[in-house]
Amino acid sequence: MGDVISFYDKYDEDNRLVLDSSRKIEFHVTTTILNDYISKEHKILELGAGTGAYSFYYGERGNSVVATDLTPKHVDIIDEKIKISNTKMDILTAVVDATDLSRYESETFDVVTCLGPMYHLTNEEQRIKCIEESLRVLKPGGTLAIAYINKHYIIHVVMAHQREYFSSTFVEEILSKGYCKEGGEQCFYTVGFFTTPIEIEEFMSRFNVDIIDHVATDGISSLLRNSINELNDENYKLWNDYSVTMSREKSLLGISNHGLLICRKKL
C-alpha cells in the first residue's frame, strides 16, 4: 500500500470536504444518512479517517471515536487538531491498515465506517479481509458503512476532464477489472478500485450482513463543480437538500461519483 501512502502524502485531503462547495455535498449527504443509524451512545471505529472530517463531526456530537488511517501524515493532522481544539471530545487515533484490525478485540464497536479504504483495495482478497475484519470487531446488530467509487462515473469524468487517458482500453479495463494501478498507462489516479451499485451489493451478500440502505452521496456534483460553487446561499441550500432527497433514488444511484452501502451485522 506504499503507493497509496505516497499519494496522500502529497494530496490535500484536509481541505477536500471543506473548501469546495461541490465536495461538501458528499459530507452533508453522508452524515445525514448515517445519522439515521448512529446514536450518540455508539462507539465508532473509522477506517480510512483521512484528516478527521467525520471523526470530529461525531466527536463533537458526543460519540466515542477511534479514528484510523493508513497514512501517518493524516493521523498526525488529526492529533494536532485534537490538541488545539477547545472542545472536549473522545477521539483516539492510530495508524492502521484496514485489512488488519488485530489490535482491536472482537465485538467491540457499535459502528464501523469504511469511508475510504475500498477505493484503494484492488485485490479481492484484500477487500474480503477488510470486510471480515470490520465485521469481527463489530457487535452483533452493529452497523457497517462502506463507501465506494462508481466505475461508470469514473468513465464519465475521465472522458470530460482527463481525455488523455480516455481510450477503448481504458473503458474496457475499468468495466471488466474495476481498477487502475499506479504506473499503468491507463492510470489517471493512484491505486484505485471502482465498482457499481449492483456489484458492491453482490460482494456484500457473501457476508453475515443485511443490507439496510444504499445511497448516492454526491451524484454528479463534482462534474457540476463550477456551477455549484457559483450558487448563492439560498440556491446552494436547495441543491444540498435536493442531494439528500435524491440520494435514495435508485435510478440515479448508478451515475453517482460516490455510493454508500449500509449493512447490519446479523445477530
Please tell me the predicted confidence (pLDDT) of residue 8: 47
189 or 175: whose pLDDT is higher?
A: 175
pLDDT of residue 13 exceeding 70: no
In a domain, 167, yes or no: no
Range of the domain at 96: 2-150+194-265
**8 A C-beta contact, residue 48 and residue 115:** yes
In a domain, 209, yes or no: yes
In a domain, 61, yes or no: yes
In a domain, 164, yes or no: no
List the beta strands (DSSP E) in the chain: 43-47, 64-69, 90-95, 109-114, 138-149, 179-180, 192-193, 209-216, 258-265
CATH for 69:
3.40.50.150
Residue 133's φ and ψ, nearest 5 degrees, are: -65, -40
pLDDT category of residue 39 using cuts at 50, 70 and 90: very high
User: What is the C-alpha end-to-end distance of the chain, expressed in Å?
Assistant: 33
In a domain, 156, yes or no: no
**8 A C-beta contact, residue 159 and residue 230:** no
Give tens-digit pLDDT for 247-266: 999 988 988 999 999 999 99
Give tens-digit pLDDT for 162-181: 888 899 988 998 899 888 76
Q: What is the average pLDDT across 143-153?
A: 96
What separation in angstroms does the CA of 48 have from each of 4, 52, 135, 147, 253? 11, 9, 16, 10, 23
Residue 196's φ and ψ, nearest 5 degrees, are: -125, 165
Please tell me the predicted confidence (pLDDT) of residue 233: 94
Residue 69 buriedness (CB in 10 A; 0-12 / 13-18 / 19+):
buried
Please tell me the predicted confidence (pLDDT) of residue 41: 97
What angle, rounded to 10 degrees, do the helices at 151-161 and 168-176 form? 160
In a domain, 179, yes or no: no
Strand, coil or helix: what is 144?
Answer: strand
Total domains in the fold of the chain:
1
Amino acid in position 14: D
Dist. CA 171–CA 106, nearest whole Å: 41
Confidence (pTM): 0.89
Give tens-digit pLDDT for 55-109: 999 999 999 999 999 999 999 999 999 999 988 899 999 999 999 999 999 999 9
Comparing C-alpha atoms, which of 260, 69, 31 is closest to residue 148?
260
In sequence order, the β-bridge partners of residue 263 are: 144, 211
Q: Which three cell numbers stand for residue 184?
A: 499503468
In a domain, 175, yes or no: no
pLDDT of residue 224 exceeding 70: yes
Q: What is the average pLDDT across 48-59?
A: 96
Average pLDDT of the residues of the chain: 90
Dist. CA 206–CA 46, nearest whole Å: 22
Dist. CA 116–CA 203, nearest whole Å: 17
pLDDT category of residue 217 using cuts at 50, 70 and 90: very high
Dist. CA 119–CA 246, nearest whole Å: 23
Please tell me the predicted confidence (pLDDT) of residue 251: 87
In a domain, 252, yes or no: yes
CA 239 to chain centre: 21
